[in-house]
Amino acid sequence: MSINNQTLLIANSRVPDTSTSQPNKSGSKRIAWSGVGMTLIALLLSATIGLVSSEAHAANLLFKSNFGAGVTLGAPYIINSKLGWQDIIGTDSETGYSWPITALGANKSSIQLITYDEVTAETINDHSFNEIQQVTGPNGNLVNALYQEVKKKGPVGIGSGTGSQSPLMLRRPWTIGDIGDLYISYWFKHPTTMPNQLDNTVSSGNWLMQFQFKTGGYNNTSGGDARISQSIIKSTVDGNLYWRTNFDNVANSEFPKVIYWEEFNTTVAVPVGEWFKYEAFIRRSSGSDGRFWTAVNGQKIVDRWGANMGDFNLPLTRLMITSHYSGGHASIHGLMTGLEIWDGFPCGAGVSCYDKVAPSAPASLNAAVTSSQTNLSWGASTDNVAVTGYNIYRNGVKIGTSTETSFSTFNSLVAGVSYNYTVRAYDATGNLSASSNTVTVTK
């Protein structure tokens, strides 16, 4: 496929060929300054305020996990010879949220294990392997991350229906209706070998799925009528990587395939061998207010407005947060951490939450010791977005957090021994400031 321009659009006539920016909803007519006219103006103003309020509502955090202490993977279990699951369980000590995810009415949030060859519970790990690892994270500090790997798959070019894959899937029943606004973000890292695993010399061997969702409930089955997916493509012309976004009806039903629109972005780089922040927003609608938006490291990949329902208006039932699904060579693997799910844009409508700027260091740390506790206080840090809180350290070991500029700890200090306290600020993205000044306390 020859990609010569920065963005290509392909639209099927079924879906309006909306632009990649918000449609112009404004218009004007002369209204006589009469009682009726004033009433119309009041109604228009009321409607406008309602629209603005709807767009500007504060988003709510529904789920967050750093795969911290307390989160574990269960043993893989087999449903049939080519399908299994591996559950994520436990409460994340860093965020307080628990697996499995119940937000959005989910009744399952696990790693789906689809294999090309037949497997058993004893051999599944030879084909698909997952674990929580401690690695150097996006900000250079140690973090826990979900490592996923598809070790074996079908022949290059084999794709839908027959290829091995290992999506982290959130599943919800079709009987509860559709979702509202949904924003999801996470940090991801593709290995440096990823481009070599994509084969642009074989038909359908040059793609790797990053994210997708599907509908379900057709004839009361899991099959659906719509899918939006975003993949990484290796160009058949120059071998460069770029992004492809599809809206089609490929959702495990027996409908003839229809691509409603397809969009390519060759401007925003595909990060390889480094962490990047992936963000996606979904608003499902049969009207012009439907929206699918994604960004990588704050750079917009797609922002598609317009109808995004299938022929039967079926609800979203499967959210593949990560896919590990490719037409290329095995193995397919990557790392993910910092998963967040919100009911809207957390940082403003259409605004990315990507942030690599750390807060300033807390200033003027002081300590006051009583017979029962140590009281710390400090000057507030600043941040380009907002300071979320402060970590408190004693002798370099984190002992607590605070959302205020003070912290008290009951003394468990040994008489005559000196203890060093420092404080570091952090923001919502997890960026840590430099340490405050050190205060030394001796009981």
Q: Write out pLDDT tens, residues 375-412.
A: 999 999 999 888 989 999 999 989 899 999 999 987 77
Q: How far apart are CA 256 and CA 249, in angstroms?
A: 8
Share of the chain above pLDDT 90, in %: 75
Residue-level pLDDT at 443 = 76
Residue-level pLDDT at 413 = 77
Band the pLDDT of 57: cuts 50, 70, 90.
low
DSSP string, 292-307: EEEEETTEEEEEEES-
Residue-level pLDDT at 159 = 55
> What ranges in 167-319 are assigned the alpha helix state H?
194-197
CA angle (16, 213, 84) in 5-degree steps: 155
- Is residue 103 within 8 Å of 65, Cβ to Cβ? no
Q: How far apart are CA 158 and CA 171, in angstroms?
A: 25
- Is residue 433 within 8 Å of 361, Cβ to Cβ? yes
| pLDDT tens-digit map of 93-130 | 999 999 999 999 999 999 999 999 999 999 999 999 99
| Domain range annotation of the chain | 7-21+54-342, 363-442
Band the pLDDT of 55: cuts 50, 70, 90.
very low
Element (H, E) at 48: helix 35-56
- Do 7-21+54-342 and 363-442 agree at the fold level? no
Instruction: State which CATH number among 3.40.1170.10, 2.60.120.200, 3.30.70.100, 2.40.50.100 fits the domain covering 7-21+54-342.
Output: 2.60.120.200
pLDDT over threshold 70, residue 192: yes
Average pLDDT over residues 251-262: 95
Average pLDDT over residues 214-224: 97
Residue-level pLDDT at 18 = 36
Residue-level pLDDT at 187 = 97
**Average pLDDT, rounded, for the chain:** 87
- Could you tell me which CATH number the domain at 363-442 has? 2.60.40.10
Band the pLDDT of 62: cuts 50, 70, 90.
very high
Is the full-model pTM beyond 0.85? no
Residue-level pLDDT at 438 = 96
Return the structure tokens found at 295. 């960004």
Q: How far apart are CA 267 and CA 255, in angstroms?
A: 33
Beta bridge partners of 282: 182, 292
